[in-house]
Structure 1
Amino acid sequence: MNQELEQDLKNIDSLLKKAKLQGLAFLESLSERPTSVNQTVVLNSKLNEIGIGAEASLKLFNEKFEILMVSSAGPRFLGFVTGGATPAAILGDWLTTIYDQNTQSTKGQGDISAIIEIETIKLLLDLFDLPDNFIGGFVTGATMSNFTCLAVARQWIGNQNGKDFAKHGVSGEIKIFSATPHSSVVKSLSMLGIGSNNFIKIKLQEGNRESIDLDDLENQAKALNGLPFILISSGGTVNTVDFDDFMAIAKLKEKYNFWWHIDSAFGAFASCSPTYKHLMSGWELADSITIDCHKWLNVPYESAIFLVKEKHKIRQIETFQNSNAPYLGNTFEDLSYLNFLPENSRRLKALPVWFTLNAYGKKGYQEIVENSIEMAISLGEFISESKGFELLAPVRLNNVCFTLRGDENQNKVSDFLFRLNQTGKVFMTPTVYNGKKGIRASFVNWRTTQSDIEIIKSEMLKCLNF
């Protein structure tokens, strides 16, 4: 055995204790840790011939890179709809690394950790009050979840036209409708060979909305004269968390032949609250759904699920099956995730989710969701009452979309946001909404409290009066 490896194996207890203490120190200082840094690092391009061992590597990391680690899991990091990680999720994630499973099949010899994934999907369906007629699995994020769902939708479109796109390639025109697709959806269309520009943009509802105009959608559907199409709808848009009318779309599905996909990366969690659950009414009738776990579920990156109706199982297997690998068995006799999603090599992403769901239950997630919304409303009220800021849209759920008050200040928005993020006390992201430069603050972190809102308000006013 390699000398450094042998020594590290002997010292594994000490090494993990050092990592634990360092990790605890980081978690305990999250509220004080900067939300952004401005450090330059000279990168090394030469690898040590012998190796320096794990302890020396930890020391080198701390000297060179540790200072770069911002509090993206902290209570005032409001960019990119970034969640934190609950204690139970951290526990599950650590054990995921320790057990190091390649999650594939639920039966047979070897790793059968997929049974944990199956149970976790069932728990999530229960959390979201969704029926058990969905097949679900874990992928890295919303991009791969949208990709997985839309890949099955693409195969469905081909099947409707007597074609097998998975075997013979995409041919002919694929009609896709959407009003405000997330960038990950557009990216998925590019990766699927459909084309990032190849969708018809449906009009938005009037009244400062980001949701689908249902009259325009029906007119577009009628114009196809019975041709099948794909509808990509929103369960919470990224700027203002607007929701399409799922009940109305479900009625249209009775009249027209289309695949209905809902991108509900974080908006799905509205279903955890009795107060906001109505926003998701009817989503159980969709063909596929995208949900992120590393957002409002508060588990570590990379974690998302796809949900596809079980009745489309054959189309899904046609799309992803490993048909040239006999050791994988019969794809129709044994559920192997290798035949249901893009990746062949996967860590046990379900385990952190399994831990956090069991640890905090429905009540815990109701409280996390409702607290996040309360924090967003609080910041929104401050902005509405301020002389220096204005809301670009109502606070519908957990996002606050705002700008500097007055059109004459549009050219100052970027500088203001730069100064705000430079404080290291809060982090927000830029956006454009209805042609105006804006700023977006997303609340999903379980740690955020009213005291954090007071710090955010104070820093905003300081940067405004700079």
Structure 2
Amino acid sequence: MSESLPARAQYRPALTAALDAALAFLHGLPTRPAGVVDSGEVPAPPEGIGAEAALEHFRRHYEPRLSGSAGPRYFGFVTGGATPAALAGDWLASAYDQNVSNTIGSAAAALEQATTSAYARLFGLGEEFAGYFVSGATQSNTVALATARQWLYAQRGHDVAEQGLAGAPRLRVLGGAPHSSILKAAAILGIGRRHVEVLRCLPGRTAVDPDALAERLADGGERPTLVVASAGEVNTGDFDDIAALAALCRRHDAWLHVDGAFGLFAALDAAQAGRLAGLALADSVTVDLHKWLNVPYDSALVYTRHPSLQRQVFRASAAYLGDTPDPLHYTPENSRRFRALPAWFALAAYGRKGIGEVVRRNCALARRLGEGLAALPAIEVLDEVRLNIVCFALREGDAAARDRFLERLLADGRAFMTPTVYTGRPAVRAAIANWSTTEADIDLTLQAVRAALAAA
């Protein structure tokens, strides 16, 4: 073998060095800056210097510029970390390097199906739901909306997967506070962002008013309609009344999709599970595992009670593929990695009880953070802390003042949060979804907030 190419004997030194680097990074997360102020240019990689030298080069030049997003005080977006068991599963997924596109010659696809079924039971979904792994909310919502589109047009005698959208009636999407990935999916699928209608929400809430949905469904005539329910709205963690929306959808022949990116894990907390009443009545459900399950990116699940329609949309026709029940026929990807393995390890290692404990603890910590912020004269907490998200604003100042506050918080490094707009007001949101976050982290975060306010 050429000296420029690897030999199998090089696995051990390369992986041993990578293990040491990974452990140094992981053990340093509690003190690593949650976010990094970095606007420098990233140079091209060196060429041909060998695996160990490449790792050393990376650690010296690039690793210091990485955030502590896997750490306990990264509260931007909705970001989990990686539990030890999930990380082990992810490393093994790379080592095994299985292409989970088909069922021939490997048990990887069978393990994936066993894993999706196990999580369906965890979330309270029945055996009629089929689940598949995808990369995240955009992909899962796109799969769900594409399947919904197929069903809605099939009711009108039109096979959109075969015939396209030409001549088909315009489809509409209704919701109270749909996530941005719903709009992206609508753009991808030819539904159009303009045909995603945002309905009136309940007073002081980000949950849709069921009466507003009833009114809109009643005046829609024969127009095919897809209703999106939020199970954990991204700004406040609010939940739509899924059971009420399901009853309306059944009455009007509409499809009900539940976007449960992180909120589906409320099912594992007895104090929160009631928010998901009616979930099993949905036509499709999505959830991100790289959020509250704390498996590495990227990992999400899409469930539907209409897998045959899902297959009509995503099947790949080629002689060498055959007419099989392979996973490649149910998602946009043909080839994809063994995403199920980290999720399998997480459930096997920690079980419902352990995963539920992370959910309960994070919700309690969010309440602690909300109480601490509410005690600051310069801060106004804008909504009830229902789940794991705290939404707040500066009492004085506009969006520019909010952004300067976040810049100071970023420079401080002890905590990371992201901006939003809530009921037209510039705001900040902190989402707690990391398994390792503690009360001490919340106290450090409050110290950082006070320092950022004082520096104004």
TM-score band by shorter chain is over 0.9
Please say if 1:179 is aligned against 2:176: yes
- C-alpha distance in 2, partners of 1:225/1:13? 66
| Aligned residue among 314, 317, 341 for 2:311 | 317
Do the aligned partners of 2:153 and 2:224 also contact (CA within 8 Å) in 1?
A: no
Which residue does the alignment assign to 1:273?
A: 269
1:273-352 aligned within 5 A: 273-309=269-305, 312-323=306-317, 325-330=318-323, 334-352=324-342
| Identical aligned residues as a percent | 42
Which residue does the alignment assign to 1:247?
A: 243
Which residue does the alignment assign to 1:422?
A: 411
Q: Which amino acid aligns with 2:161?
A: A
Please say if 1:358 is aligned against 2:353: no
The CA deviation string for residues 151-182 of structure 1, in whole angstroms up to 9 with x for no partner, is 10111122112111111211331122112110
Which residue does the alignment assign to 1:3?
A: 3
Which residue does the alignment assign to 1:129?
A: 124
Q: Which amino acid aligns with 1:417?
A: L
| Aligned residue among 68, 84, 89 for 2:86 | 89
Deviation at 1:111, TM superposition (A): 3.2
Do the aligned partners of 2:37 and 2:410 also contact (CA within 8 Å) in 1?
A: no
- C-alpha distance in 2, partners of 1:88/1:165? 42
| Secondary structure at 1:262 match in 2 | strand
Please say if 1:162 is aligned against 2:157: yes
Which residue does the alignment assign to 2:210?
A: 214
Deviation at 1:9, TM superposition (A): 2.8
| Secondary structure at 2:244 match in 1 | helix
Q: Cα RMSD (Å) of the superposition?
A: 1.5
Which residue does the alignment assign to 2:139?
A: 144
Q: Which amino acid aligns with 2:144?
A: C
| Secondary structure at 1:138 match in 2 | strand
- Gaps in structure 1 of 5+ consecutive residues: none
- C-alpha distance in 1, partners of 2:199/2:42? 47
The CA deviation string for residues 198-245 of structure 1, in whole angstroms up to 9 with x for no partner, is 122211112x11111111111111112344311111111100011110
| Secondary structure at 1:327 match in 2 | coil
Q: CA separation of 1:263/1:344 partners in 2, compared to 1, >3 Å: closer, same or farther?
A: same
- Gaps in structure 2 of 5+ consecutive residues: none
Which residue does the alignment assign to 1:36?
A: 35
Do the aligned partners of 2:231 and 2:240 also contact (CA within 8 Å) in 1?
A: yes
TM-score normalised by structure 2 residue count: 0.96
Do the aligned partners of 1:181 and 1:233 also contact (CA within 8 Å) in 2?
A: yes
Q: Which amino acid aligns with 1:320?
A: F
Do the aligned partners of 1:390 and 1:404 also contact (CA within 8 Å) in 2?
A: yes
Do the aligned partners of 2:179 and 2:233 also contact (CA within 8 Å) in 1?
A: yes
384-393 vs 142-151, which moves further? 384-393
| Secondary structure at 2:290 match in 1 | coil
Deviation at 1:250, TM superposition (A): 2.2
- C-alpha distance in 1, partners of 2:143/2:115? 19
| Secondary structure at 1:316 match in 2 | helix
- C-alpha distance in 2, partners of 1:134/1:264? 15
The CA deviation string for residues 361-396 of structure 1, in whole angstroms up to 9 with x for no partner, is 010011100000000000111122221111111111
| Secondary structure at 1:426 match in 2 | coil
Do the aligned partners of 1:153 and 1:259 also contact (CA within 8 Å) in 2?
A: yes
TM-score normalised by structure 1 residue count: 0.94
- C-alpha distance in 2, partners of 1:233/1:342? 23
Deviation at 1:409, TM superposition (A): 6.0
Which residue does the alignment assign to 2:379?
A: 389
